[in-house]
Amino acid sequence: MTNTDAADASRPHASRPEASRPVALVTGATRGIGRAIAAELGRTHHILVGGRDADAVEAVVAELPSAEGYVADLVADLTGASLPALPERLDVLVHSAGVEDGGTIEETDAETWRQVFEVNVFAVAALTRRALPALRAAQGLVVAINSGSGFTSGAGGGVYAGSKFALRALTDALREEERPHGVRVSSIHPGRVDTDMQRALVAREGHEYDAAYTITPEMVAATVRTAVDLPPSGTVESLSVRPLHRR
């Protein structure tokens, strides 16, 4: 046995899925909403933990009963050609990776627009395109973590909301295109969620942060579970989850 084999054998978590477990790929799974979704689905699924940082990915893998890493920079190659291989069958693909940036139209430069759309829209399209054969083989489910900003926009929110409107258009089209192949598509629209990204946004807005006006990542994960557990004869096409308290 080589040193590498010995190291792999010593790991408590299998590098291959248990035969009885369906397989779910969760992007952005090393923090925030994505991490909560990986933990929730990890109770029943073999999780491909998506992220850019190998150490952060491995830390999440170590917490799950059945998991392996899917280390990739989804924006670096939007053709998808250099992305890690996917299994022949993929039961669930959760797009949770995302960024929030930008200000007013007047003050936001073209580079910021490009970066936000690359992460929130273009990378989603690239990975989905690559995953479609495996999703079709499993008659699986695509879940896009969108936002309340995917429905409405306001002053200073045009960049992020624009990307989320575009993501909603992508998922609406994908749902109809893949219906004949048995692939379901769900769009989840959380309100403000208690994450580092939300704290940074509130700071930029100049407000005092108060978690009472947010929901938790685990609440979003519970809505994803609802979509995943629905029998395949139906689909949660769109689901919104909001904080009870509003400012």
Q: What is the set of active-site residues?
A: 160
Query: Where do the H-state alpha helices sit in 101-247?
Result: 110-117, 123-138, 158-178, 196-205, 217-229
Q: How far apart are CA 54 and CA 59, in angstroms?
A: 9
* 5 sits in which H/E element: helix 3-10
The answer to whether 159 touches 115, Cβ cutoff 8 Å, is no
3-class secondary structure for 73-99? CCCCCCCCCCCCCCCCCCCEEEECCCC
**Beta partners for 212?**
none
Location of structure tokens 């150490």: 55
